[in-house]
Amino acid sequence: MDIKQATPYFLVDALFVLKECIADMNSRGFKQWNNANPGPKVIEKDIDKGTLYLGFELGMVRGMINLTEEMPKEYADIDWKGNGEKVLYVNRLAIHPLYSQTDVTEKLLAFAEGYARENKFTSIRLDVLEQYPVEDTFFINRKFENAGNFHSDFQKLPYLCFEKNI
């Protein structure tokens, strides 16, 4: 998989993946995202900050991942166990539904881990909606530990937080 830092040229690719993911999640009853959150302005900001990466295979976008040092405000009350000296936060991990049963997620997470090591981060933190069909073992097999959960302003179900020391 060819993983590229998104530039304004790739905005349409990122929005395409996001739109397909939202439609798929909503059709299956998962209301984690909608057309307003995260919307085009959020993705444009990610691109402007240089934090959004897109995964391509055969010239087609398969997924995206946002890697940032900005801690989501919802994480403030989580009792993180790991080394929090320099933390990489993973969000907006989105895989086109046609490729959700492939290794695209693993490749994007491996990229995030390599990025963290290269840039001397001490841990990686992320969250997933509890209802979403990602088994705890998916993260545990990759040496992530469950760190707790939180509720957002726009979601009734809790988000599960995971952390991995690098």
Domains of the chain plus CATH, in order, are 2-165 (3.40.630.30)
Give 63's contacts (C-beta < 8 A, 6+ positions apart): 17, 54, 55, 93, 94, 95, 96, 99, 104, 105, 108
Identify whether the C-beta of residue 33 lies closer than 8 Å to the C-beta of residue 25: yes
Instruction: Summarize pLDDT for 68-116 with one digit per residue, the tens.
Output: 999 998 899 999 987 778 999 999 999 999 998 899 999 999 999 999 9
Q: What is the pLDDT of residue 69?
A: 97
The length of the chain in residues reads 166
Supply 125's token pair.
């933190």
Q: Which helix (H) or strand (E) segment is 90 a member of?
A: strand 87-95
